[in-house]
Amino acid sequence: MRAPASPERLVIVGAGMAAHRLVDSLAARDPGPRSITVIGDEPHAPYDRVGLTKLLGGVAAADLALDAAPLRDPRVQLRTGERGVSIDRDARVVRTDGGAEEPYDALVLATGSAAVRPPIDGADLPGCFVYRTLDDLAGLAAFVEARSADAGRPLRGVVVGGGLLGLEAAGALQDLGVACAVAHSGGHLLSAQLDRAAGEVLGRLIAARGIDLRLGARATRVEADASGYAAGLAFRDGPDLAADVVVFAVGVRPEDALGRAAGLACAPRGGVAIDAGCRTSDEAIFAIGEAASFEGRSVGLVAPGYAMAEVVADRLAGGDSTFPGYDESTTLKLAGVEVASFGDAMAASPGALDVVYTDPVGGVHKKLVMSDDATTLLGGILVGDASAYGALRPLVGRPLGADPAAYVLPAGGAPAASSDLPDDAVVCSCSSVTAGAIRGAVHDGCADAAEVKACTKAGATCGSCVATVGALVRRELTALGREVRTGLCAHFDLSRRQLYDAIAVSQLTTFSAVVERFGRGRGCDICKPTIASILSSLVGGHVLDGENAALQDTNDHVMANMQKDGSYSVVPRMPGGEVTPEGLIVIGEVAREFGLYTKLTGGQRIDMFGARLEQLPLIWKRLVDAGFESGQAYGKSLRTVKSCVGSTWCRYGVLDAVGMAVRLELRYRGLRSPHKLKLGVSGCARECAEARGKDVGVIATEHGWNMYVGGNGGFTPRHAELLAECLDDDALIRAIDRFFMYYIRTADRLQRTAPWCAGLEGGIDGLRAVIFDDALGICDDLDAAMARHVGSYEDEWAATLRDPDRLARFHSFVNAPDTPDPSLAYVLDRGQPRPASREERESGAVRIAGTTLEVRR
């Protein structure tokens, strides 16, 4: 029997995200059903399940509630804590476990999915959790708090399942202070979304975040301790993992029991079968969200559920909308680890072509899948840098221009796709909002992305399109000649520059205080490292202290530079490139003892590669004892000051370049900035230090130092411009102090000095006026800020060695602190170790880290 269009009585079973969207859409229509009854078995009003992890970050459950306005519609009755237990299809009545009978003209099943708890011994022990509902997560948080208080030590946890949810859960456990491992049965993480190459890059990023990985691992049993609590996890292959907390994130099963018992057709793999109009095999009954199965599949993402809800709302109003099929585009929500996959990410379409950019050193892998004639974008994978996701996903199925590679090359090369999006391109897939709708909202008066979000719902759910929405809004506002607000990200309306000033004035010292005072929410991968950097510049403090640790980028997190195989490199600081014979001997001994590959860097230092996470403190200790620091050869901070040999040895040198380079490096070491900083000092105009390719270049003349600014190498090389001539030592240092502090204070996030200088009002003359003539009246502030930096500098590595809490981060396997990472394997090449290739690993003739080295020629 077909449900009448505009039914009098609508009943919805399930009060989750899809049900809420349906009610929202119906409440906006007039006329709609006379009564809408929503029956939900959770004791809460509909909440943002996608944002559920925020609960573990301190967000109150009430703040996760979805918009209550539609539920206040007088036609809507929400019954929480009540479960639909049967459907009498002939009488058109739903019965609940509370004994109620709800008659309906049309019924919608929106019962979602249930998290799967694997059928292994011990999976129900106290300490074992699934990760699906508000109560699951509240229970997990309460358990961790109580158990760690009892144990008097940090807990150890294992997440079973290396999919999107498992990695999100692992990050959340870590944020709760639980040392976390992920056990995944596949050969690489996110096997449903990523190909192997991308999964391997992701694996290294995850490991660098301090989450231990066990791949190809099938759990067989949860072990209990004497009190009956979970204590460890046993595997079919490989050693046990100790675990006080086990989170199962191994998948979900569509909640189709109600429909199945009522005789509705269900898909073999679960889910109530629906047609394109979201009708089940009973015309009066619809199914939406994860409970529904379209073309034999049910997908665990919110966007299809929202699309189905809109289809049903339209159908109930007499329309003929159809569900377009699943868009499985998705992103990983784990701070510091950017991953996105969209469209035909696995290149399954016949003849599909790949455009791949991989930078294993930088931990970036990007793949675009193109049609067989290389014209049309079919999908893609972004790992390590997913900033292009919001711009690329709406272009799926559309031509990508003559040079698709430009979209995956590092920043600077990629065209600004968002500005060219056609009106019908879907920008927000969760809420099906097109570029045209966003432009329309701006024309209708919305003044920024937040207002567009409130008006269209673009960016309101998973947030992955927020950057694209922002770009579209800014462009449209500019085209209309209206004011453009320049907020840092969805959590801050202030720009980086405004935030810097706000933090300086308010003297706040933690991210949570900053976000509470000037922003909203829990922050993201844009604002967290940015504010960490601002706090470092303004407040100082150790990068691994308190909240700071969780804000840092990968390398800052472990204070070393992660390499393509997941090991680390250590670059002892050598101001001016000077090293004594004793120092050289220590470096040689360290490299020999730890089996490290050594190489001179372009910055005149000695880089030692192949250190394991747990070896880092041991290496630092040796270096610190010999008078070295480890050195920030990574991160957004001062790298090195390169120099020639200068007047002390060189026949042509006119000033002491090495002495000046030493002075500059010691002064600016540890200085956090919007991007990396490099300096060069040449002792004469022959420019052997290539100083004009640096952010600050200093070149000696007969009359003093010439100072150049805004140069860099890399993808878009640029020569520095002359800022000042013939400075004496102190005047030079004062000018560099002000230049750096002015840049740190006013540059955009990730803006190098070159584009910053180019964008300054008045160009190089304007900069000169600020630094030498105090045109803005800020020179005292700039000088004071640099004095604070210099005065508060401490050797971060030595400080880490002194602190057991900081040291606790440096284990390859949290559960077996002394076990080296077995995924590291090396062969000898030209007398030094290098990472083994896959073939070499498979042949077995390699040195696995920690065992004897085998020589290969």
Ligand X SMILES: Cc1cc2nc3c(=O)[nH]c(=O)nc-3n(C[C@H](O)[C@H](O)[C@H](O)COP(=O)(O)OP(=O)(O)OC[C@H]3O[C@@H](n4cnc5c(N)ncnc54)[C@H](O)[C@@H]3O)c2cc1C
What's the closest the beta carbon of residue 142 comes to ligand X, in angstroms? 17
What's the closest the beta carbon of residue 784 comes to ligand X, in angstroms? 44
As a whole number of Å, the CA-based R_g of the chain is 29
Cβ burial of 236 (10 Å; 0-12, 13-18, 19+) is exposed
What's the closest the beta carbon of residue 27 comes to ligand X, in angstroms? 17
What's the closest the beta carbon of residue 502 comes to ligand X, in angstroms? 30
Angle at 18 between CA 176 and CA 433, to 5 degrees: 95
Q: Is 237 helix (H, G, I), strand (E, B) or coil?
A: coil
Pairwise CA distance, residues 760 & 709, whole Å: 13
Measured in Å, how far apart are the chain's first and last C-alpha atoms? 77
Pairwise CA distance, residues 244 & 156, whole Å: 5
What's the closest the beta carbon of residue 133 comes to ligand X, in angstroms? 7
Choose between 307 and 364: whose C-beta lies nearer to ligand X.
Answer: 307
Q: Counting runs of H as helices and runs of E as strands, what totals does the chain give?
A: 25, 39
Using CB positions, name the residue nearest to ligand X.
16
Choose between 94 and 550: whose C-beta lies nearer to ligand X.
Answer: 94
What are the strands, taking DSSP E only, across 225-269? Answer: 230-235, 241-242, 245-248, 252-254
At residue 308, φ and ψ (nearest 5 deg) are -65, -40
Tokens of residue 310, six digits: 């809109």
Footprint on this chain of ligand X (rule: CB under 6 A): 13-19, 39-42, 49-50, 52-53, 83-84, 110-113, 131-132, 165, 168, 255, 258, 289-291, 300-303, 305, 333, 462
Hunting for tokens 């159809």 — which residue is that?
A: 322
Question: Residues 6 or more apart from 219 whose CB is under 8 A from it?
Answer: 118, 120, 160, 183, 233, 234, 235, 236
What's the closest the beta carbon of residue 44 comes to ligand X, in angstroms? 8
Count Cβ atoms below 10 Å from residue 111 Cβ, excluding itself: 31
Contact indicator for 527, 489 with CB cutoff of 8 Å: yes
Choose between 163 and 653: whose C-beta lies nearer to ligand X.
Answer: 163
Q: What one-letter code names the amino acid at 62? A: A
Choose between 17 and 392: whose C-beta lies nearer to ligand X.
Answer: 17
Choose between 172 and 658: whose C-beta lies nearer to ligand X.
Answer: 172
Which one-letter DSSP state was computed for residue 574? -
Contact indicator for 608, 623 with CB cutoff of 8 Å: no
Report the sign of the C-alpha dihedral through residues 309, 310, 312, 313, in that order. positive
Tokens of residue 425, six digits: 């391109």
Choose between 291 and 532: whose C-beta lies nearer to ligand X.
Answer: 291
Pairwise CA distance, residues 292 & 602, whole Å: 58
Pairwise CA distance, residues 611 & 555, whole Å: 13
What's the closest the beta carbon of residue 241 comes to ligand X, in angstroms? 23
What's the closest the beta carbon of residue 679 comes to ligand X, in angstroms? 42
Choose between 165 and 757: whose C-beta lies nearer to ligand X.
Answer: 165
Which one-letter DSSP state was computed for residue 531? H
- Closest to 54 measured CA to CA, from 39, 65, 45, 67: 65
Q: How far is residue 188 from each of residues 191, 542, 613, measured CA to CA in Å?
A: 6, 34, 20
Choose between 279 and 333: whose C-beta lies nearer to ligand X.
Answer: 333
Reported residue count of the chain is: 857
Choose between 327 and 607: whose C-beta lies nearer to ligand X.
Answer: 327
What's the closest the beta carbon of residue 193 comes to ligand X, in angstroms? 12
What's the closest the beta carbon of residue 471 comes to ligand X, in angstroms? 21
Pairwise CA distance, residues 160 & 234, whole Å: 11
What's the closest the beta carbon of residue 300 comes to ligand X, in angstroms? 5
Choose between 37 and 555: whose C-beta lies nearer to ligand X.
Answer: 37
307-324: buried (b, 16+ CB within 10 Å) or exposed (e) per residue? bbbbbbbbbbbeeebebe
Count Cβ atoms below 10 Å from residue 447 Cβ, excluding itself: 14
- Beta strand 106-109 with 9-13 is parallel
What's the closest the beta carbon of residue 426 comes to ligand X, in angstroms? 14
Report the sign of the C-alpha dihedral through residues 615, 619, 620, 625, in that order. positive
Question: Can the peptide bond before residue 31 be classed as cis, meaning omega within 30 degrees of 0?
Answer: yes
Choose between 525 and 796: whose C-beta lies nearer to ligand X.
Answer: 525
What's the closest the beta carbon of residue 261 comes to ligand X, in angstroms? 10
Choose between 453 and 676: whose C-beta lies nearer to ligand X.
Answer: 453
Choose between 84 and 384: whose C-beta lies nearer to ligand X.
Answer: 84
Choose between 18 and 699: whose C-beta lies nearer to ligand X.
Answer: 18
What's the closest the beta carbon of residue 257 comes to ligand X, in angstroms? 7
What's the closest the beta carbon of residue 45 comes to ligand X, in angstroms? 10
Choose between 52 and 250: whose C-beta lies nearer to ligand X.
Answer: 52
Choose between 17 and 178: whose C-beta lies nearer to ligand X.
Answer: 17
Which one-letter DSSP state was computed for residue 232? E
Contact indicator for 720, 651 with CB cutoff of 8 Å: no
Choose between 94 and 587: whose C-beta lies nearer to ligand X.
Answer: 94
Choose between 299 and 616: whose C-beta lies nearer to ligand X.
Answer: 299
What's the closest the beta carbon of residue 491 comes to ligand X, in angstroms? 17
Pairwise CA distance, residues 260 & 487, whole Å: 49
What's the closest the beta carbon of residue 750 comes to ligand X, in angstroms? 24
Pairwise CA distance, residues 741 & 786, whole Å: 7
Question: Residues 6 or more apart from 488 whose CB is under 8 A from it?
Answer: 494, 495, 496, 499, 526, 527, 530, 749
Looking at 540-655, list the stretches that DSSP marks H as alpha helix, in order from N- to C-terminal side. 548-551, 554-558, 581-594, 616-625
What's the closest the beta carbon of residue 110 comes to ligand X, in angstroms? 5
Strand partners, 63: none
